[in-house]
Amino acid sequence: MAASLPPCLLAPPFNDASRAHLRRLDAGWARLLRGEKPPSVLQRVGPATLPATDRDVDVVYAGGGVALLHALAMQKRGWQTLLFDRRAVGQTHREWNITRRELDALVQAGLFDWPALETVVAREYEGGFIQFHDPHGPPIHVELPHVLDLALDATALLTLARRHYEAAGGIVWEGQSFEQAWLATDGLPRVVVQLRDAQSQPQRIGAKLLVNGMGALSPLSLALAGDGLPFDGVCPTVGTVARGFAAGEVDPTVGEILLTLDGAKDERQFVWEGFPAGGDAFTTYLFYYDITAGRADNPHSLIELYVDYFERLATYKRPGPDFAHLRPVYGFIPARHHVDGPAPQQARTARGLLSVGDAAARQNPLTFTGFGSFVRHLPRATAQLDELLRNDALDAETLATLSAAQQNLAPLWVMARFLSPRGYPDSVNSILRDFARVMDEIGPKRSAAFFRDETALLDYLAIKLRMARHRPKVFGEALATLGARGLAQWGEDIVRWGATQSN
């Protein structure tokens, strides 16, 4: 297996498990971009033809990432839940930054109290900044406090959640792959889910509701997408948690939220992020923005991105004499761009089937903070679901109201399009610099609100007007980049947002 991997992946912090996982993610993502769908993953049948089950619960969860937090909330509300994952539950291959105020949603949702949550906080910063490369001078640097300023130990959080979940009577099955689901088309809500373990033994679980938390490559999200791709945008992201950078390279009190160090090359504008973690550890990410359409013959690859990461890391942070990578962090972070069509299409639900986390991908298409987006909606989504379960009201349209979609994020896909290079090396940086100037002008309160997905319509319009003042050519660029149809969609997104505010 190791033969065709680049040398940088043959040494620690990678091991056989992470190498195999990266290969599986790359292969799965390539299949997704080609529009290949596993056959008969989802069947809609009359209640009388549902298959017999080996076990019955109220809610069955496929995938043990953020869905574990959802399962914990529902278990605590008295529903019998079962969560399965093909890998270990409570392990993750990413870290999460958020703010203390946003994290409080986990307390509001009844999952933990603050003393328990404090045990999984790795670090909290005093400040943060964004900084963008300028080929003609020093980079533009803007302070951005109160954004992603709390680093969680993601594995510790999921381990804590699992402990609470099992203590509350939740059932965890590991090493179980999702294979197929049958959804009852009428009668009382009922689903049957077929899993298969490593020994190829199938099991069938019956429930009222199936929660799809299988991430960016979820076979259920593919099935629900119909003929199209499940996501419009993606940030292929890789990095490591490391320690031992040279003296002065890392300030443990400051989060480095978005940085560019050079111009775009080979149709990619690399963006860095760096977050102090626990002890002297520092988490570094490298990513770029892209769209999913038209990439079938040239798929994104995390393995290839790691080659760029290791080649370039020292241009971002110089290693010291005792430098060591501790663990890899990586993933394809997906985003759906439009709030398009009626509610069921927005949330990609079906009767008895709800998607959460990256399987739903309703996060901000600019910041891709999927954990924050999931957490923010958790208290409302789980309280509402409790009510829907009590009333057996699990039709697609009603389940769609639990979505983490936000009207104020809908128009942001436009800006995400400008973060893919448009023909010249400074194309992305020049717009990022203008954006940073606007953030500086509107001040830390409103710029932080923008990054925390809290922007109000008037502030959004003010940002756009300021952007146009700094960059009069932006309208021409928008027409060239989005086309007339894209511009119309953008206008529609803004009008729909306005309409929800006046309701």
Residues that bind ligand FAD (CB under 6 A): 62-67, 85-87, 94, 96-98, 177-178, 213-215, 219, 237, 239, 285, 329-331, 333, 357-359, 369-372
Cβ 153 to ligand FAD, closest distance in Å? Answer: 12
Residue number, 239 or 263, with CB nearest to ligand FAD: 239
Output the DSSP codes for 350-365.
Answer: BTTEEE-GGGT--S-T
Whichever of 37 and 87 has its CB closer to ligand FAD, that residue is 87
| 238 token code pair | 């890789």
Q: From CA 38, how far away is CA 29, in angstroms rounded?
A: 13
Closest approach, Cβ 129 to ligand FAD, in A, equals 16
Q: Give the shortest CB-323-to-ligand FAD separation in angstroms.
A: 20
149: CB partners within 8 A, 6+ apart = 97, 99, 100, 124, 125, 126, 127, 128, 255
CB of 60 closer than 8 Å to CB of 193: yes
Task: Find the shortest distance in angstroms from Cβ 42 to ligand FAD.
Answer: 13
Q: Which of 273, 278, 277, 281 is nearest to 313 (CA)?
A: 273
Q: How far is CA 179 from the centre of its chain?
A: 23
50 versus 98: smaller Cβ distance to ligand FAD = 98
**For ligand FAD, which is the closer residue by CB, 412 or 478?**
412
* Residue 149 DSSP one-character state: -
CB of 370 to ligand FAD, least distance (A): 2
Strand order in the sheet with 55-56: 42-45, 176-184, 191-197, 202-207, 55-56
Give the residue with the Cβ less far from ligand FAD, 385 or 494.
Answer: 385
* Residue in the block written with tokens 């639990």: 402
Question: Which is nearer to ligand FAD, 95 or 434 (by Cβ)?
Answer: 95
Spatial distance between the Cα atoms of 362 and 336, rounded to a whole number of angstroms:
6
Cα–Cα distance, 108 to 317 (Å, whole number): 38
Beta carbon of residue 435, minimum distance to ligand FAD (angstroms, whole number): 20
Nearer to ligand FAD, 155 or 481 (CB): 155
Alpha carbon separation from 476 to 462, 463, 468, 490 (Å, rounded):
19, 18, 11, 15
Q: Which is nearer to ligand FAD, 301 or 430 (CB)?
A: 301
Q: How far is the CB of 148 from ligand FAD (least distance, A)?
A: 6
Minimum separation from the CB atom of position 275 to ligand FAD (A): 7
User: By Cβ distance, which residue is nearest to ligand FAD?
Assistant: 370
* Nearer CB in complex with ligand FAD: 163/390: 163
CB of 372 to ligand FAD, least distance (A): 4
What's the CA gap between 232 and 335, in Å, rounded?
Answer: 6
d(CA 202, CA 213): 20
Q: How far, in Å, CA of 496 to CA of 490, rounded?
A: 10
The Cα 33–Cα 41 span in angstroms is 18
